[in-house]
Amino acid sequence: MTIRGWNTRYRQIRHEFGYKESEDFAAAKKLDKIIEKAFPLSKFKKIISGKTVVVIGAGPSLDGAIPEIKKLKNVTKIVADGAIQPLIKNNIKFDILVTDLDGDLASIKKIGNTNIPIVIHAHGDNEDKLEIVNKFRNKIGTTQTRKFGKLQNFGGFTDGDRCVFLAERFSPKKIILFGMDFGNEIGKYSKHIVKNRQVKLKKLAYGKKLLEWFSTKSNSELYTTSKTIIGYKKINFADLDYIVNS
């Protein structure tokens, strides 16, 4: 089920950024054809339900968070695609990858050859990249239009906030954000190539806005180790052990 109120938010996003629903839908139809068999929702539920979920974004604070993320045990890690390079480099295992294929494609393909489920988002700007999804082992497609076929709509706009919306769909106990800064600095892992800095910053600002709206809908305990986000308790790394295990 798509989070209540998402359709209104989607219309606002289209208006704000000038996106065409027809182009989003065309990409979604292509992705639906490519995915012959979607990763089962029941398996996402097993991975997420009742768990502490760590969402890892690619913001500037990620480098400093890596040693702390590496220590975490008994949590579910959901990762935005920009963050996978440093995680792979530091041998940090994660449970789910969320991507719209605008990150480092070599790293994304590497994960596609593992058993890690990949949540691929289709929109008007990435239709030309969707063919690589054919080679992924465990995959599920998402759309920001109405859900149809084998595609889901969990809600969310940027990879980072889509991770959070995905987690909420399967009723985690807690969600803790890492590397989710949403400031005026673009993290070095955030996107393989940033073509338009101002548009990227605008997207990040909208992602933060969505997460703050999301906090009014969520049934989970919400925390952030990054910059302040309304609706999320700001915690220090020293608090992590207690938060995760309480």
Edge-first strand listing for the sheet containing 174-178: 139-143, 118-122, 96-99, 76-80, 52-56, 174-178, 221-224, 233-234
Tokens matching residue 185: 């600095």
What pLDDT, on the 0 to 100 scale, is given for residue 227? 87
What pLDDT, on the 0 to 100 scale, is given for residue 201? 86
Q: Quick check: 123 pLDDT over 80? A: yes
Q: Across the chain, what does the average pLDDT equal?
A: 93
Mean pLDDT over residues 16-30, rounded?
95
Q: What is the domain partition of the chain in residue ranges?
A: 6-245
What pLDDT, on the 0 to 100 scale, is given for residue 187? 58
What pLDDT, on the 0 to 100 scale, is given for residue 197? 75
Residues 6+ apart with CB under 8 A from 99: 80, 81, 108, 118, 119, 120, 121, 159
Question: How many Å apart are CA 120 and CA 222, to the nearest integer?
Answer: 24
Question: How many Å apart are CA 199 and CA 237, to the nearest integer?
Answer: 31
pLDDT above 70 covers a percentage of the chain that reads 94
What pLDDT, on the 0 to 100 scale, is given for residue 59? 92
Which tens digits make up the pLDDT trace of 31-44?
A: 999 999 999 999 99
Which tens digits make up the pLDDT trace of 153-185?
A: 999 999 999 999 999 999 999 999 999 998 666
Q: Quick check: 191 pLDDT over 70? A: no
Q: Global pTM?
A: 0.94
Tokens matching residue 98: 């969320």
Question: How many Å apart are CA 72 and CA 78, to the nearest integer?
Answer: 13
Q: Which of 114, 139, 126, 115 is nearest to 35 (CA)?
A: 139
Is CATH 3.30.1490 the right assignment for the domain spanning 6-245?
no
